[in-house]
Structure 1
């Protein structure tokens, strides 16, 4: 029923149409306030883009659309100037070369990069979960690039750096100047591609020399190089996943192969490469021995990827290492990889590092340097298809005629014999030298070889 207003009411409130107009204006004002609050809550970069679109109008939007189309074509369709995928599929990367004696006992490990290659099935579930929680929780579902991370990456853009740079267009950056784009947001595939294919670009990224083109003069040398590397990283990551899917038949198998390469290739600090060597180096445990009770160790290993310098378990700043470890444990809890009790128990654990005796290790790793030198000489002279670099890269393993037991006997015999000589002839102390060669009578194969004594002129030397 429509209300009937008296003359007095109309005089006090105005006409019915006036009341409707006031209500409409109030509703519009509330909507505008809501829009203002939403706009104010947006990241400054998003606000700048929206304002630019309003200012530039249709022409600006067409320019942005064209630029976006070119970028997407480069990332997803441009397949020119690509590196060799075959080496990646075979996973040809430096590992450890071994020289064994005639009984299969290890004499020495030689390597450019101390690494053990592992397969996906050799990575314990607790370690897989820690890596995924720390680095790429959506690894098995995304297609090389995780677009859900883009808002988080945009939030890290240094707006003040952009504004400062815009006031000094064309000038070279200072060495200590900050890049506009921070690290972060890379998936496991992107990280692997960056380490495997783009080392050269990454090494040059922090230089302040301007590149040719317009972009470096606008945003600065470091930001331009970082952006160029990031685009190439995305392009190669997409391409690598495409190639791995075609080679291994399914997305799941391709992802597993990429994950295994990541876990084998990554630098883990202190000269160690890959999770297998890092587990033995830091904790004295083979990676295969990790179980659910080792969640704290798994989280420590997974935390190294962010920065080996700062997050290696033996880093001087233990508080920072523990903070990173506990952060990963909480992420594992959120993903359902750990129960609440297990996560809390792991957080209470101290950093449990293996005790390393440098002197003993040096002795064990150099018990037969003269034998190793002879092996390398013979490799060079007798085998045209292999050389010392193949051994250092882990592409070949060598089984020698030496006998590790006899080698230890020869080492001790030479040292003790020369010490007794020095007691009889004090003037020769620290000067006298000697050598030992033990041959097999039947074929003159070298069973042991000592090229010199350990102590010479009061300095610690290896047998050589």
Structure 2
């Protein structure tokens, strides 16, 4: 009997051992099968997580940040022990004892699953396993993934220390609210650094990995609080905090940025604007989107925040003034449902959700019409402004400037009260009217985002550093950057490139060009371009052609030197990409579209004497390790490497820039554009330093421009509708854009100064009559006298040829004579308006218009 029992139990034992062996063999086979072709865990030693790229202003102030995953990498040794202990307690309390997997945890999880019949299934992954899943594996719930996870976790424990594994985990883990890693989460939820966290705050972060999508500190406040207190109890039981600390910390309320208990970190940043968004666009193309949004780049921008504010205010003021002058109301942003007006809490919540309201315009706030009185006054609720006893009101008279725009596009009668423009529930923008004397509050006024748009840009003429850029009225209203992305016709602001090409091809500022009618047969019919004044002025000095923006003269010059020559110049200056300018005569008047960005950069080369300058929004870019990967300034500093320089000397900066045009030509065209500001279409410019520039107005005033410069700064502006249509009969570059230029440049001159434009070597001055081009004596004076700059080797004889561009002139035939003097005879009344007969040095009789440059001042354009 004993032998039988012994044999029975022996058989059972043998079966168990055999089964165990076969089980281990099968398990080993499974592990061996899954261990093949696993990703290498060794790459984690070179961990480079996606981190935030940050943009700083010139003085080092953080102005924007970009991230696909908002992560701030912190080395393991800089993460406080309190934070490590909270996460170890919450996620893997045996972390420092196990070798990659926690068998006790796995068995406990299995027991709970069996006991609950599958209702209580919880994870048993260690922190090491989670690192493997997050970095090298997928998140699918399968046996295969768990096996691979175990294998890799064991391998990782053999190659990295516990602290290194924890560093990977705490920097990679997703904690909700687009926050990856503990440092970013601490900033998102508490606006604190890791070292500033209190135990209950560290425990709150450690509570998040369980369900970051559901654990919202406001919507799931009770659930998050319970999980936080569980983490605090675990920290106490693991010996990281004492019982008194656990109890006191558990009793504290759950406070967060999302609940309004702390100021949000983002509120300390200026609103994103056109400048930093253009940096994003350019660097994403240069470095790739993955590197820009995840490479942890440190970007030093060229923007000057004060000047950027001046630029945006100047452009907004011009756009709003024009829009207000039209007297058309289109300012209702959205209409809230009736139930949203039931209480203050309801309308405030509904107003907060109106994303279309631009909140980046200084002094403007979204508001909702709460009621309209019989007198036409409107009571409003304003975002961020507390209600007072009487409420906030917009008086009826504030609406009487406007006519409502109906759905069919027609206009209603002029409003008598606010109720004619908006009804209860309508969301509008409002601003505070204040006293100019002391800044005291007067009343609330209605505001609206203008339909007309525009762009502005300013840059240093020597370095190319863009100091200000505004791409529209409001970035939040429209992210389309009209300074860099809008392709617009530059109109007469393109003419300086035609005249510069002429000056480099035998012309002088005193060359006489015939200003007479032209008719050109084109495939689309007869083209008869006109001057803006609808007049012609006969033979006129070249200078007057640009000062008074004469279209007919410009076309004759372009025809004479060849449109291909003009195209080559425009492309050399970067107005158009190489080979992209079409050599049609209409393009000499600025018919082909380009960007404000290109035009401003091109004008900078006139201002700096003809040297190439590349515009840039970025001074320097550094990677996550602090290495410089881009630097704009490539100039050489001669002597900077020496330990000491001789007394009285300073390092010399070698610009080593390419010359794109002759320095004499650059000065001549600059001098002629000074005349535009002093006597021509840019006379509205009123600044204490010499300014040169050119206006531009296209056909039917669909676009208006002004680009101008001092010796240091070049700035340009354009205004127009996004879908081009006329701005009206009185819209010119000189009336709409020059005020923007003035407002900005007054501050720019105060900041950067300015001087007379540098006169280059290789030329000489001679006084001439600017009406006729005749040489005058050195002591001549008067309104008709100008000191013109001529190239060495050029005489007035070779600079006063009549140019008709090959077109048949109306008054006289083209002549080859080069007049030395023009002797005035009594006016005959023949020919054009105010003309007079003269005798040239060859004895021929010609007709010269009286005061040839005193026609109707305009900005020219496309005709």
TM-score by length of 2: 0.38
Structure 2 unaligned spans of 5+: 1-8, 330-447, 482-863
CA distance in 1, matches of 2:270, 2:125: 38
Counterpart pick for 2:243 among 340, 343, 354 = 340
Distance 2:281 2:203 in 1: 40
- Does residue 300 of structure 2 align to residue 399 of structure 1? yes
Consecutive unaligned residues of structure 1, counting only runs of 5 or more, are 1-52, 162-177, 206-224, 245-253
Distance 1:241 1:405, change over 3 A: farther
Contact 1:402 1:446 in 2 (8 A): yes
The residue aligned with 1:298 is 202
Shift of residue 122 of structure 1? 1.7
- Structure 1 pair 359–305 and aligned structure 2 pair: CA distance change class (3 A): closer
Secondary structure of the 1:140 match is coil
Q: Deviations over 1:173-216 (max 9, x none)?
A: xxxxx7x99332111111111111112xx24x3xxxxxxxxxxx
Counting strand residues as a fraction of each chain, which structure ranks higher? 2
Counterparts in 2 of 1:152-301, with a 5 A limit? 152-158=108-114, 182-199=121-138, 202-203=139-140, 205=141, 225=142, 227-244=143-160, 254-290=161-197, 294-301=198-205
Q: Cα–Cα, structure 1 residues 309 and 395, in superposed 2: closer, same or farther, change >3 Å? A: closer
- In the other structure, the counterpart of 1:33 is none
Q: CA 1:420–1:364 in 2, change beyond 3 Å: closer, same or farther?
A: farther
Aligned mate of 2:318, from 412, 417, 422? 417
TM-score using structure 1 length: 0.68
Q: How many equivalent residue pairs? A: 352
Asked if residue 440 in structure 1 is aligned to residue 345 in structure 2, the reply is: no
| Structure 1 SS opposite 2:55 | strand
The alpha carbon displacement at 1:344 in A equals 0.9
Deviation at 1:343, TM superposition (A): 0.9
State the distance in 2 between where 1:75 and 1:284 align.
45
String of CA shifts for 1:318-359, please: whole Å, max 9, x gaps.
Answer: 221111111111111112211221111111100011228999
Cα deviation, residue 99, structure 1 = 2.5
Query: Relative CO higher for 1 or 2, CA cutoff 8 Å, sep ≥ 6?
Result: 1
Classify 1:119/1:72 alpha carbon distance in 2 versus 1 (closer, same or farther; 3 Å).
farther
Please provide the CA RMSD for this pair.
3.3
Cα 1:412–1:240, aligned 2, differ >3 Å: closer, same or farther? farther
Shifted more, 113-122 versus 402-411: the winner is: 402-411
Shift in alpha-carbon separation, 1:75–1:256, aligned structure 2, 3 A: farther
Do the aligned partners of residues 194 and 375 (structure 1) sit closer, same or farther apart at CA in structure 2, a change above 3 Å counting? closer
Helix, strand or coil for the counterpart of 2:454?
coil
Task: Indicate if the aligned counterparts of 2:88 and 2:95 stay in contact, CA closer than 8 A.
Answer: yes
Equivalent pair of 1:115/1:264 in contact (CA under 8 Å): yes
The Cα of 1:270 is off from its aligned counterpart by 1.4
Cα distance in 2 for partners of 1:117, 1:139 equals 22
Q: Which has the higher helix share?
A: 1
Q: Deviations over 1:55-74 (max 9, x none)?
A: 99855653443233443566
* Pairwise CA distance, 1:409: 3.0
Q: Evaluate the alpha carbon distance shift between residue 317 and residue 377 of structure 1 in structure 2; reply closer, same or farther with a 3 A threshold.
A: closer
- Whether the aligned pair in 2 keeps the contact of 1:402 and 1:447 (CA below 8 Å) is yes
Alignment-derived partner of residue 308 in structure 1 = 212
SS where residue 457 of structure 2 aligns?
strand
Q: 1:95 aligns to what SS in structure 2? A: coil
